[in-house]
Structure 1
Amino acid sequence: MISQLGGLNWLTAIGLVRDTPSMYLELSTANIFAVRLAITEIPDRTLFGSDAPYGDPYLSRLTVERVTTSAAVRAQVLGETLAELLNL
């Protein structure tokens, strides 16, 4: 798991997760362009995160909603993938 979309190394983090099937990427504290690219490249291994209480969960969710056109991908990123990982 790479948290906070890899920080300043977000482009490298996206490539690493894309090329490593057992890795996941968490989106907190990321800019909208990085979130869009991560979801486009690896929607099935991208997890919603907000970095609360330092980040704003509402704005983080809006970012995911803004960059996803598919309701299925949006639902996957916002919780379905994590639910599968946790066997919920």
Structure 2
Amino acid sequence: MTLETLFVTLVPTYLVLIAYGVVRGRRRGLPSQARLGSAILMVLIPPVGILVALYATADAALIARWTPLALGMFVMGAAAAWITDFTARRIS
């Protein structure tokens, strides 16, 4: 699987799961601290997992190609979680 194919598959799935998790936490009536904690975990775990796996391979070329993707996933995930929570607050 090429980097581009994995990017097109992995990142949208990651963002959809974050949005689903934020909305599910709100529907369950979790307090804001619990929703924030779960959103942080949802945003952090996949990029950190990718970075740990990359550094475990010790392949410099692979690390150079995937590190910006993992950091971008973190930024996009945080933005998606915030936008979803903001929108869900306004709608419900």
Verify same fold: TM over 0.5. no
- Structure of higher RCO (CA pairs closer than 8 Å, 6+ residues apart): 2
**What TM-score comes out, normalization by structure 1 length?**
0.30
Larger strand proportion of the pair: 1
Q: Decide which structure has the larger Cα Rg and report it.
A: 2
Write 1 or 2 for the structure with the bigger share of helix: 2
